[in-house]
Structure 1
Amino acid sequence: MKKNDSPTVADVARLLKREGFTPSESELEALTGYLNLVMKWNKVMNLVGPYSWQDALTILIIDSLHLNKFLRSLSLPSTPVTWDFGAGAGLPGIPLRALWHEGEYYLVDVREKRTMFMEQTVKRLGISNTTVYKGRVEDFMEEHEPADLMLSRAFMPWKKLLDLVGPKIKDQGRIVVLALESVPSDLTEGWSVEKEISYKVGKDTRLFWSLVKA
């Protein structure tokens, strides 16, 4: 198999098994479909940079599989409203929604081409209860009721994030941060650490923080 060939479901299954994941057939089909669309669009716009599909899967998309496990370990509502800001190429949200279907999920980005990609991808893959919003997060939050869960993957520094998004998170709601360092000791007043885990991606250590609003 050539390095730049489009991956099949079997290719993706084999690589994910090596990483310790064994998704179902339907999950694998959705993940493979997403990966192929990312690589196709990446040729005409810089969605994920100069990655091969193998690297895109094991360096970028792999976070979503770890995040799926992490979210299932939390005491979330049965049908949470989840916000994913600065969603860009649909990471972590779209591959996450291939695995984790709970509640309503909103992918928010101000960039037109990226929201166009996400809209077409969500529709093409038949991902349910997942909405793409083009616009500023401030406008989005004004137009929507408070959320149960917000996911942050390099959207903005955590202090600014809590100040901006915190007022629009429900009491006992959560912000889950995908981070490269441990949760800070000087956490903003009104927030507490529910859970923190770390995992390896290649030689890198990555972390999730679940911060709960008191």
Structure 2
Amino acid sequence: MAHTSPTPEAVTKAARALGRPVDDRQAGLLAVYLDQLIKWNKKMNLVGKSDWRTVFDTLVVDSLFLADFLANLKLPGKPLCLDLGAGAGLPGIPLRTLWPDGEYWLVEVREKRALFMKSALGRLKLPATNVFHGKAEDALARLAGAGHHATADLILSRAFMPWPRLLDFIHPMLRNEPGRGGVAVILSNDPPPAEADIPEGWLLGDVAGYPAAGAERYFWSLKVR
């Protein structure tokens, strides 16, 4: 039942019901993450008052379909990815159980949420998946100082800030090389704007819709020109 700790078998069944099956390994990792999330949620407000099945059906669902969306994007090998405002690790941590490409940084300024993500990742042992505790605008400078790329290949955002402001904010953070511009992916409850409304310097790329919580949600990709 939903109020009990999730089992891999229950997660497998829940994913199948959403129309995006997972394999045994993925189900096991997702069960561990959800168990940790619900336990920590009793002490701090990570996802509101919720049981694991509700979290799965309303939040983890994004990660399941996002994995397929990212797999179809034309990203460079081993992309450097930033997940802005990662909160309790959604969509990033469940995403990384299905899409392990490149190096992934969960960026979160709130200390308790960053602590939770580090604890969860300590259990999951997901490859090349890390937490940056600090302001988003400081992330790349700190990473570059530690020998990483100076710009990101992929930036993900769900409600970090309104999308027109977001594009201005992240433009200097994304790789900007001929034929190799960085990509932003926005998770939204709304379809993308018309191409005429896309700011100068950006190109609207792949768009996908998927069912979630009885409605339609969307992924938009926008590439630096």
TM over 0.5: yes
Give, as a single letter, the amino acid of the residue that structure 2 aligns with 1:179. Answer: S
Q: Hey, which bits of structure 1, 4+ residues long, moved more than 2 A? A: 141-144
1:182 corresponds to which residue?
191
2:97 corresponds to which residue?
98
CA distance in 1, matches of 2:192, 2:7: 38
Identity score, percent: 44
Post-superposition offset of 1:21:
2.1
Q: CA RMSD for the aligned pairs?
A: 1.0
1:147 corresponds to which residue?
152
1:46 corresponds to which residue?
45
Paired residue total: 213
**Residue 160 of structure 2 corresponds to residue 162 of structure 1:** no
Post-superposition offset of 1:100:
0.6
Residues 69-84 of structure 1 aligned to structure 2 (within 5 Å): 69-84=68-83
**SS of structure 2 residue aligned to 1:107:** strand
CA distance in 2, matches of 1:183, 1:57: 25
Post-superposition offset of 1:77:
1.1
Post-superposition offset of 1:22:
2.0
CA offsets per residue over residues 83-142 of structure 1, 9 Å max, x none? 001000000000000111111000011111000000111111111101101111111133
1:17 corresponds to which residue?
16
| Pick aligned residue for 2:182 from 173, 194, 202 | 173
Post-superposition offset of 1:51:
1.4
CA distance in 2, matches of 1:188, 1:29: 42
TM-score normalised over the length of structure 2: 0.92
1:204 corresponds to which residue?
215
- Indicate the structure with greater strand content: 1
1:28 corresponds to which residue?
27
2:147 corresponds to which residue?
none
CA distance in 1, matches of 2:219, 2:163: 12
The question of whether the paired residues in 1 share the 8 Å contact of 2:84 and 2:107 is answered with yes
Give, as a single letter, the amino acid of the residue that structure 2 aligns with 1:175. Answer: A
TM-score normalised over the length of structure 1: 0.97
**Residue 135 of structure 2 corresponds to residue 136 of structure 1:** yes
Post-superposition offset of 1:4:
1.1
User: Which runs of 5 or more residues in structure 1 are unaligned?
Assistant: none
CA offsets per residue over residues 152-199 of structure 1, 9 Å max, x none? 011001111111111110121100000111212211101011111111
